[in-house]
């Protein structure tokens, strides 16, 4: 069990110099390194009982990087918003958001 718990971040996230990939929507708060910069990600969700999830991406400072969110193939009619602005319907696969992220945390 201890090995499984220690390996969970590797299943949830993948990071590289170019960006951050969220593979599974599981409620958590993690601090990760993206391109050498610290980024905090918080996922709040009621899966599998409900159909909503909220993801906050908070870098420690500013940075340009890509955030990719996996939409499973079994999800039908997924919709996405960024800062309250609708992006519309998204299909299965990875939705890519490339932007200049700003620090919004104090921790």
Q: Do residues 97 and 56 touch, judged by C-beta distance below 8 A? A: no
Residue 75 has pLDDT above 80, yes or no: yes
Read off the pLDDT of each residue in 10-37 and give the average, rounded to a whole number. 89
Give the Å distances, CA to CA, from 31 to 21, 34, 71, 88, 96.
13, 10, 22, 29, 20
Q: What is the dihedral of CA 55, 60, 62, 67, to 10 degrees?
A: -30
Give the model's pLDDT for residue 91: 86
Give the model's pLDDT for residue 105: 55
Using DSSP's 3-state secondary structure scheme, residue 69 falls into strand
Give the model's pLDDT for residue 6: 65
Give the model's pLDDT for residue 36: 87
Domain boundaries, the chain: 2-101
Give the model's pLDDT for residue 22: 95
Give the model's pLDDT for residue 57: 92
């Amino acid at each position: 069990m201890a090995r499984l718990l220690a390996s969970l971040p590797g299943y949830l996230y993948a990071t590289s110099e170019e960006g951050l990939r969220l593979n599974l929507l599981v409620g958590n708060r993690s601090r990760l390194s993206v391109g050498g910069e610290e980024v905090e990600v918080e996922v709040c969700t009621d899966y599998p009982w409900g159909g909503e999830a909220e993801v906050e991406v908070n870098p420690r400072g500013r940075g340009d990087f890509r955030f990719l969110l996996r939409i499973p193939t079994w999800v039908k009619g997924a919709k996405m918003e960024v800062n309250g602005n609708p992006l519309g319907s998204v299909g299965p696969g990875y939705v890519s958001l490339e932007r200049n992220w700003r620090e919004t945390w104090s921790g």
